[in-house]
Chain A
Amino acid sequence: MDIFTAAMWIGTTVFLLFSLKKDKSKTLKALKMAFSMGKGMLGSILSIIFLIGLILTILPPENIAKFVGSQSLFIATVGAAAFGTITLIPAFIAFPLVGTLVDAGVSIVPSVAFLTTLTMVGVVTFPLEKREFGFKFTATRNGLSFLFAIIIAMVMGVIV
């Protein structure tokens, strides 16, 4: 385990002990909630991981890097952003995945665009959002999020 993960475990454990001391029943309730939520998600998360494993075998990260690198940066970024809107993977799998891709040589601009739209723009959740907030709100929020995801990615490409 690397230092960083260890630090997170220690920090969370301290927080947990503190929380238990302050209000035991409230903390236990929160833990039970976290556990059930995790259990409910585990099946689909494992399926997604096995799918990623499969895709990375057929399309090794180096090939993906070569393919993305051969496109113009703008097209690669818009493409990655669009791909992020339709993909449904939890962020904590997305980070190691993007880490793998960046290590293999994928430019960070499309990677950032993908990470941002992945969580902020939801094609799959669009109908649900529309029903709660109306079409205008949903279309505006998702549209602007997409646009700004590309801007964020471009600016990061300049800075990093």
Chain B
Amino acid sequence: MKILKKVKENSFCIVIAVAYILMFVLKPDMGVTSMKNSAYYIKEMLMIMPVIFVLTALLDTWIAKEKITKYLGKESKVNGIILSFVLGSISAGPIYAAFPMCVMLHKKGASVRNLVIILSSWAVIKVPMLLNEVKFLGMKFMAIRWVLTVIAIVVFSWVTAKIVKDEDIVQKEEKTNGLTLNKEFCMGCTMCSRNYPEIFGMQGKKAYVKSFDFEIDRERLSQTIMACPVQAIHYNE
């Protein structure tokens, strides 16, 4: 069973490996070319990926998000728009990692428009990614695309706020008691299993809640919940 599960988890990887084996058997020269093509991208990736990850983690750590989130309400106007752009541009992780945070911001009163700005800038205008874009496509290309994208987001976030009202955003109040961890948002960063290994463990690439029968250290738990970069952990009394 365990092997089957592993195969299922890595099916994509296996398909690619099989395709390469077939290619090397049938058309060895094309196999060599494919390897050469891949090698170029792997080299580029290894040169840039460590920097991007470290830079993103540092930005994410040092910019006080709690302060920013206070100014995102409906009456926030231009300040709110700018802060939303900043928040989206400096945060770590893929776009779906922004969903739980935006839901929380909406509950705290952030406007629909600012939610759209955060999600969109989270997706397209990451600072480390802009640097990467300059490298491969040039400064002029990046700068023009950045300006146009910012203008586009300002416009269509306004349109979205006209179409979508606060009530349209579902307020699901699922009061599951106790400790829950939303695996779909987990990025496998292992923060929780490091902070509170008695309760959280890692299963493959995702974190899970262990079964435990001791009193939870509230202080430690709330620190662990805060430390989760995608806010996938929830605790209700």
| Min C-beta distance of A31 to chain B, whole Å | 6
B35 touches A19 (CB 8 A): no
B194 part of interface (Cβ distance < 8 Å):
yes
C-beta contact mask, A12-44 vs B, less than 8 Å → 1, else 0?
100110010000001101111111111010011
A33 touches B189 (CB 8 A): yes
What string of 1s and 0s marks CB contacts (under 8 Å) between A110-137 and chain B? 0010011001101001001100111011
Interface size grouping (class) on chain A: 35 or more
Given known contacts A54-B34, A137-B112, is B164 in contact with A160 (CB within 8 Å)? no
In the complex, which range does the number of interface residues on chain B fall in? 35 or more
With contacts A34-B53, A93-B45, A95-B133 taken as known, whether A56 is within 8 angstroms of B37 at the C-beta atoms is: yes
Contacts of A145 in B (CB 8 A): 120, 156
A1 smallest CB distance to B (angstroms): 6
The listed residue (B16, B92, B144) touching A54 by CB distance below 8 A is B16
Tell me the chain B residues, 114-147 only, with Cβ under 8 Å from chain A.
115-116, 119-120, 123-124, 126, 129, 131-137, 140-141, 144-145
Instruction: With CB as the reference atom, state the residue of chain A lying closest to B188.
Output: A40
Contact of B37 with A52 in the complex, beta carbons under 8 Å: yes
Q: In the complex, which residues of chain A have a beta carbon less than 8 angstroms from the beta carbon of B61? A: 19, 26-27, 29-30
Minimum distance in angstroms from A29 CB to a CB of chain B? 7
Asked if B120 and A57 make an inter-chain contact with CB atoms under 8 angstroms apart, the answer reads: no
B51 touches A12 (CB 8 A): yes
Cβ–Cβ < 8 Å partners of B131 in chain A: 4, 8
- Which chain A residues lie closer than 8 Å to B30 at the CB level? 57-58
Q: Once the chains bind, are A92 and B58 in contact (CB under 8 Å)?
A: no
A115 CB, min distance to chain B CBs, angstroms: 8
The A-B contact count (CB < 8 A) is 219
A19 to B60, CA, bound (A): 12
- Establish whether residues B45 and A45, one from each chain, have CB atoms under 8 Å apart when the complex forms: yes
Once the chains bind, are A52 and B132 in contact (CB under 8 Å)? no
Decide yes or no whether A82 CB sits under 8 A from chain B: no
Q: Flag B202-231 by CB within 8 Å of A: 1 or 0 each.
A: 000100000000000000000000010100
Is A73 at the interface (CB under 8 A from chain B)?
A: no
B58 contacts A43, C-beta separation under 8 Å:
no
Q: Say how far A96's CB is from chain B's closest CB, in angstroms.
A: 5
Which of B's residues lie within 8 Å of A, judged by CB? Answer: 10, 12-13, 16, 19-20, 23, 30, 33-42, 44-45, 47-58, 60-62, 92-96, 99-100, 102-103, 112, 115-116, 119-120, 123-124, 126, 129, 131-137, 140-141, 144-145, 148-149, 152-153, 155-156, 159-160, 163-164, 168-170, 184, 187-191, 194, 205, 227, 229
Identify the A interface with B (CB < 8 A). Answer: 1-2, 4-5, 8-9, 12, 15-16, 19, 26-27, 29-38, 40, 43-47, 49-54, 56-58, 90-93, 95-99, 102, 108, 112, 115-116, 119-120, 122, 125, 128-129, 132-134, 136-137, 140-141, 144-145, 147-148, 151-152, 155-156, 159-160
Chosen A-B contacts, 27 in total, with CB atoms closer than 8 Å, are A5-B51, A8-B131, A8-B135, A15-B58, A27-B61, A32-B191, A35-B53, A38-B53, A44-B13, A53-B36, A54-B34, A56-B37, A57-B34, A90-B94, A92-B52, A92-B132, A120-B120, A128-B99, A132-B99, A132-B103, A133-B170, A136-B164, A137-B169, A141-B119, A141-B120, A144-B156, A147-B156
